[in-house]
Chains A and B, each alone.
Chain A
Amino acid sequence: GDSVTQMEGPVTLSEEAFLTINCTYTATGYPSLFWYVQYPGEGLQLLLKATKADDKGSNKGFEATYRKETTSFHLEKGSVQVSDSAVYFCALSDLGMRFGAGTRLTVKP
């Protein structure tokens, strides 16, 4: 079945550093792709999404582009903040969400 492979981390960065979290997918069709974020003690929140190839999802300074040729949906942010510390999940829709393993990001002041 469809699946997602995600860089596991943990990732520790200093404030204002550049962030990349890699995500690749395996799918028979063309699923929608998502990034979800889970802040400490909170539930999952949708961060951004892309529904077709070459679409770019963006939110709160985060971006990810749906790349069909490389089957990737890498998450990027140009300048992270302490408040971005959380666990990030890449996911695709396949009769329910298929999640990557999650990447724990810690941003230090």
Chain B
Amino acid sequence: GAVVSQHPSRVICKSGTSVKIECRSLDFQATTMFWYRQFPKKSLMLMATSNEGSKATYEQGVEKDKFLINHASLTLSTLTVTSAHPEDSSFYICSAETGTGGYEQYFGPGTRLTVT
């Protein structure tokens, strides 16, 4: 149980275009989902917290107009990278809390974004 999927697993886009990444909790409902970014051989940095039905809360230094987050249902959150630039190339990972306590998060497999 507690499986989180992400789609796509890899995406290449041209500079200036937008790309959407989906995060789904497959076998549980997640009122809270999180988006992280991982640079090569680096740790994960929390970008934003996404709550179903409300606006996302962004970490300091993360541009909310560039990284649009929508949490439309209890099983789906999306991250849209708008007007992508090569420096946005990274590994984006989502996670979801089961809400059963212990603050445990289940992580998706990640999406590799390359902006050319």
| Interfacial residues, chain B to chain A (CB-CB below 8 A) | 34, 36, 41-46, 49, 57, 59, 93, 95, 102-110
Contacts and interface: CB of A to CB of B under 8 A. Distances in A.
Interface string A26-68: 0000011010100000111110010100000000000000000
B102 A51 contact: yes
B93 A43 contact: yes
Contacts of A46: 104, 106
Interface in A55-103: 89, 93, 95-102
Q: SS class of chain A's interface: helix, strand, loop or mixed?
A: strand
Contacts of A97: 34, 36, 44, 46, 95, 105
Contact of B43 (A42, A95, A99): A99
B110 A101 contact: no
B93 A96 contact: no
A100 B110 CA distance: 18
A30 B107 CA distance: 23
B102 A32 contact: yes
A14 B49 CA distance: 40
A51 B41 CA distance: 28
